Chains A and B, each alone.
Chain A
């Protein structure tokens, strides 16, 4: 079935299957005041989701439950609560193997419990979308914001995007399926945000019309066979490679892993078109740049405003996609900078490490400030980090330690 053949027809909720380019770029937008969780619900209302599987864990529980309401209203094909995150992600895999468009959400320890699934999803080319509302994974137990789980997701072969705002979230959920389901990509997407800061705060978000929705997923655009027994019967495998200790077996596994990462690279062109680039920049001619992702970007904007009042000019690079990693874009955007400040909401500083590994003269990177375990990041500590890097005497000591 051509996916465009349904354009203009209606689903059972009277929503019109709309060309996604028209829906996302040309259709009128209505400003609405919603929490991040409610924004997830509104995006999913318009996403033509077949199956959503839920499990409670803070701070994604509200969004997962709200999508249950959408199911009750008839917007989702099937919905249920699984018994753990590992089970949920397995159930999501099954539905996607069967040709369904699948959505789920998780957070923190749930992400870690489910982790075995994520490389499997990527390897099996299942274009599932998983919202990750990041929170601490450490002991002693913390339910507060912390982005450390993203560093694990970045090694799975999934696409990984990091939303700054609820508006990003709304648009990227819908655009994410369009990128994920491209035949030359066909990979799962971990769409991350900073828990609580985005999920539990209210913001004005411009929503697309309620009566428009994405065209349905067409599983026959997948680069691998859909497991629905609608293809000619063949023996798919002879002598399973897992049993073989020989060069052909190793080469088969190696080339498939390379293909997964190549597919993520091929997502660039689609992502650039949908997201207007993998990064966003402001005033990158400045000597000092803040380069980061998520709500650290928002705090960076505030710091830039504070420093401007003092006559210190600072630019900004907002990284939107972590996989694929915008290597060339970051190199280009930071080529004039003398100081690259990387504020982060995690203890290890994975973003600073990625940037250091990307750019020439990595000593320009200031790996901080970093907060973790649920601490907030007042703009003043970014200001102070920048002043220290510049050798400017600081009068602000707010929020240190």
Chain B
């Protein structure tokens, strides 16, 4: 998008809604805003219909702030709580069918590459655990095997929240939920390992209570997906309603779950490391000088 679009037509400033004026004057387009500046700029996602205390909403806000190039980013999703917020963001959100987000993103990413060549158009899938690991599983895995160059973010609240609390493949074993009246009979699906097997170039697991870390993984994932290959981020974004987490304990729960079974993990392929170092100056991935060879 030309940043010329993010301007007022001369003479129309006073007639534009305040919402739009704020977006033009204080929005993030064309600027390098960071999560540490939250509260000092107009966010792409602000008002939303999500539940009070929703960790998922915080994560989505952080993720969108972290997009390296919001003025050329298109999000894709499917049914679930997350899309209720994402569809109100000031960047396009494509909703196709139930569970087809990685198929839509495959076509979108290819279509945009045909039309815009080397100009980055970042495609980011943001979908829930049911949308990603259950109904969308085939298209997710195949998009990874095909090495489609876009980012997939799973909002893992370990339950079908939007439809009222049913078991998903990402629910932990034993949890009693709707459609699992005797407790879930099988283990939480290991999507991280599947992402590795399917060839993702970058994989991370995060929780939302460390904004800088969320920002860091999202940025890396989106940048790597431009040229290297598929990237996958799995975020624990608890459902405080279905899991009865008191609103003021949501972050505490995230910390507990992180310590217990949702530790921060990050896999970066060698090719992706070299790319981040060379193209974007990531110091941690610049190969260290090899130790001087000593002779015996």
Contact = CB atoms under 8 A, between A and B. Distances in A.
Query: Real complex partners, A and B?
Result: yes
Interface of A: 50-51, 53, 77-78, 80, 82-84, 86-88, 90-100, 102, 116-117, 120, 124, 225, 227-240, 243
A98 B90 contact: no
B88 A94 contact: no
Given A51-B114, A90-B97, A238 B92 contact: no
Interface residues of B, number: 49
B108 interface: yes
A237 B1 contact: no
Contacts of B109: 94, 98
Given A91-B103, A93-B107, 7 more contacts: A50-B111, A78-B114, A87-B142, A88-B103, A90-B103, A91-B107, A92-B107
28 contacts: A78-B110, A83-B142, A84-B138, A87-B142, A90-B139, A93-B103, A94-B110, A95-B111, A98-B74, A98-B107, A98-B109, A98-B110, A98-B121, A100-B111, A100-B114, A102-B111, A117-B100, A120-B97, A227-B94, A229-B1, A230-B1, A233-B6, A235-B88, A236-B87, A238-B88, A239-B49, A240-B87, A243-B49
Given A51-B107, A229-B121, A232-B6, A94 B114 contact: no
A229 B91 contact: yes
A237 B121 contact: no
Contacts of A51: 107, 110-111, 114
A94 B106 contact: yes
Interface string B42-77: 000001010000000000000000000001111010
Nearest to B111: A98
A233 B1 contact: yes
A234 B138 CA distance: 33
A170 B139 CA distance: 33
B236 interface: no
Nearest to A233: B90
B279 interface: no
Nearest to A121: B96
Among B5, B98, B110, B121, the most chain A Cβ lie within 10 Å of the Cβ of B110
A78 B109 CA distance: 11
Contact of A97 (B6, B104, B138): B104
B71 A229 contact: yes
A53 B148 CA distance: 14
Contacts of A88: 103
Given A78-B114, A95-B111, A240 B97 contact: no
B111 A233 contact: no
Contacts of A232: 5-6
A120 B98 CA distance: 11
Contacts of A93: 96, 100, 103-104, 107
A84 B138 CA distance: 9
Contact of B106 (A77, A91, A229, A243): A91
Interface of B: 1-2, 5-6, 19-20, 23, 27, 29, 47, 49, 71-74, 76, 83-84, 87-94, 96-98, 100, 103-116, 121, 138-139, 142, 146
A237 B113 CA distance: 27
B88 A116 contact: no
B5 A116 contact: no
A237 B107 CA distance: 24
A120 B88 contact: no
B107 A97 contact: yes
Nearest to A86: B100
A102 B115 CA distance: 13
Given A91-B103, A94-B76, A240-B84, A235 B114 contact: no
B134 to A, nearest CB: 14
A75 to B, nearest CB: 13
Contacts of B89: 235
A233 B96 contact: no
Contacts of A231: 1, 5
A98 B76 CA distance: 12
A90 B19 contact: no
A144 B103 CA distance: 29
A96 B111 contact: yes
Given A83-B142, A91-B104, A98 B97 contact: no
A310 to B, nearest CB: 54
Nearest to B103: A90
Given A78-B114, A228-B121, A233 B73 contact: no
Contact of A234 (B20, B49, B107, B139): B20
Contacts of B138: 83-84, 87
A93 B87 CA distance: 18
B71 A233 contact: yes
B88 A98 contact: no
Contacts of B2: 230
A94 B111 contact: yes
6 tightest CB-CB pairs across the interface, nearest first? A94-B107, A98-B111, A90-B103, A90-B100, A95-B107, A100-B111
A94 B91 contact: no
A233 B106 contact: no
Contacts of A238: 47, 88
Contact of B92 (A78, A94, A236): A236
Nearest to A232: B5
A87 B103 contact: yes
A91 B116 CA distance: 18
Contacts of B93: 236
B68 to A, nearest CB: 14
Nearest to B101: A90
Among B19, B29, B84, B106, the most chain A Cβ lie within 10 Å of the Cβ of B106
Nearest to B105: A94
